[in-house]
Amino acid sequence: MATPVLRCCCPARRWALAYTDRGSRHGIGAPAGSRSSGKRGQSSVVPQPLITAEKPRKGEHKWAAVVGLEIHAQISSKSKLFSGSQVHFAAPPNSLVSFFDAALPGTLPVLNRRCVEAAVMTGLALNCHINKKSLFDRKHYFYADLPAGYQITQQRLPIAVRGSLACSVRVGRTQSQAVNKTVRIKQIQLEQDSGKSLHDDRRSQTLVDLNRAGVGLLEVVLEPDMSCGEEAAVAVRELQLILQALGTSQANMAEGQLRVDANISVHHPGEPLGVRTEVKNLNSARFLAKAIDYEIQRQIIELENGGEILNETRSFDYKLGCTVPMRDKEGKQDYRFIPEPNLPPLLLYDSASVPAGADPQQVINIDQIREQLPELPSVTREKLIQQYGMLPEHSFTLLNEVGLLEFFQNVIKETRAEPKKVTNWVLNTFLGFLKQQNLAVGESPVTPSALAELLNLLDRKAISSSAAKQVFEELWRNEGKTPAQIVSAKKLELMQDRGALERLCLSTMEEHPQVQKPTHVLTEE
């Protein structure tokens, strides 16, 4: 058996229950003229209007949806999980491929220490039990972008199990109320990513890019504790914030660093769970919510029309706003899991069990990693509420926008304005301009110092609120002027000298004598 070696690598809608009449052939929400044949394997992919929950009438039965998630997060590491190949987004195709990544005979895996530490830290942040002994397995299946014909994963004994993810779902007409929800985490496991198949429909060919093959992934498996797209999206967003706070993953969904598979089924409460479908590779929280809500609705309509739900894999067509079949899962695929023969068990330690004289570079101490845990998003939000007296929804917005919290805190440090006024300007004016221009916080032409100076002028009543908005607009044009210079150039100062104000009024009246006396004559009828 191979000797364990660790490489050190620096980290560089709310869905309500839907009620339908089981006696109706088409069911609530079925489009006019649409029918289901009821035949196995046939299902409509035409987008349907959302089913809304109404007060049940006599003879009607409600449906309950069950949603579970499998989330794949790319680990922030300079090299891959089992090879020294670098990890870079958008690198030239097949430019970051080692012999091991290409599965050349005779190559052996060498475990990346950074990836193991990231898995342990993530498990601790998610209240998981960390297994001091975990195993690697081979999961066999064929894809053109999987050169070895198998994926190294942790099926039997993963690195972390039995955790929880707490999040808040916004409810109410104005989304001002929060309902706390806890989603159980079944396990977190380390595994390799596959390569990428690039389909060229124009030339009727598929090209393979192996740059991503072998990149380290954290697979976080959430128990089916969710019931709608909004709950799932909130859970994924909270996990994304946690990963970013830990530094274990950049979790940029647009770059494929966080991908979600959703398992969805519907059933009548009190009855066995229904047949589930899996919607694969969702890379947007918004699309995740839409895909789940559509799939819940599709299954309800299919069952109410007398059809049957297939155990299949589907994808989400964001242009049509619906899910479409990919492949049937009725015949369960045999992945032929076997122990990975080239990797020994992964052993972790706590402070009490570290072997005497062990090389620190070859030992991972769970307690040391626990001490390095940063402040988590839930704690940060609570501090914002307590320290600045802001509304809970404002604290969520500050954390949900990348870089916005840091911007806010920098403004607070440099201004004498009240936190409430700073919050209003950052979340309404500043964020509004960013949205209009489709810019990230880091791309803003207005710096925290400039906004702080503007708020100082407003706080000491040097300018009016309307004048402050004019100054902000000038700052946004990025003409290189400070707020004070803009105020002076445009003469936007408020006049504080009473004598000067009286002289200005007298001068104005003398220049316009025709408006000094009333010109209208009132007559009595």
For residue 365, give both structure tokens.
């101490």
Give Dmax (Cα) for the chain.
113
The share of the chain scoring above pLDDT 90, in percent, equals 66
The CA distance from 100 to 406, in Å, is: 41
The CA distance from 411 to 44, in Å, is: 53
The CA distance from 121 to 124, in Å, is: 5
Instruction: Look up the pTM and report it.
Output: 0.81
Mean pLDDT across the chain, nearest whole number?
A: 85
pLDDT for 330: 55
The CA distance from 312 to 309, in Å, is: 9
The CA distance from 192 to 146, in Å, is: 10
pLDDT for 87: 95
The CA distance from 89 to 216, in Å, is: 14
User: Which stretches of the chain score pLDDT less than 50?
Assistant: 1-60, 519, 521-522, 525
The CA distance from 503 to 232, in Å, is: 65
Long-range contacts of 324-329 (CB under 8 A, 24+ apart): 324/45, 325/43, 325/45, 326/280, 328/41, 329/278
Residues 235/258, Cβ–Cβ less than 8 Å: no
Residue 210 neighbours by CB under 8 Å, 6+ apart: 94, 97, 101, 102, 145, 147, 195
For residue 431, give Cα distances in angstroms to 286, 292, 425, 428, 440.
19, 29, 8, 6, 9
**Which pairing describes strands 346-347 and 133-134: parallel, antiparallel, or unpaired?**
antiparallel
> Where do we find the tokens 């922030």?
76
pLDDT for 492: 80
Angle, in degrees to the nearest 10, between helices 465-476 and 448-459:
160
pLDDT for 61: 62
pLDDT for 361: 81
The CA distance from 397 to 435, in Å, is: 13
pLDDT for 202: 87
> Where do we find the tokens 């015949």?
331
For residue 15, give both structure tokens.
């869905």
Which among 301, 308, 273, 274 has a CA at the least distance from the CA of 20?
301
Residue type, 414: E
User: Which helix or strand (DSSP H or E) is residue 504 part of?
Assistant: helix 498-511
**SS3 category, 301:** helix
Residue type, 489: A
Residues 26/238, Cβ–Cβ less than 8 Å: no
pLDDT for 340: 97
Residue 498 neighbours by CB under 8 Å, 6+ apart: none
What are the backbone angles phi and psi of residue 496, rounded to the nearest 5°? -100, -20
For residue 70, give both structure tokens.
């499998």
For residue 52, give both structure tokens.
């809304």
Which among 257, 258, 294 has a CA at the least distance from the CA of 277?
294
Burial of 493 (0-12, 13-18, 19+ CB in 10 A): middle
The CA distance from 322 to 355, in Å, is: 55
SS3 annotation, 122-160:
HHHHCCCEECCEECCEEEECCCCCCCCCEEEECCCCCCE
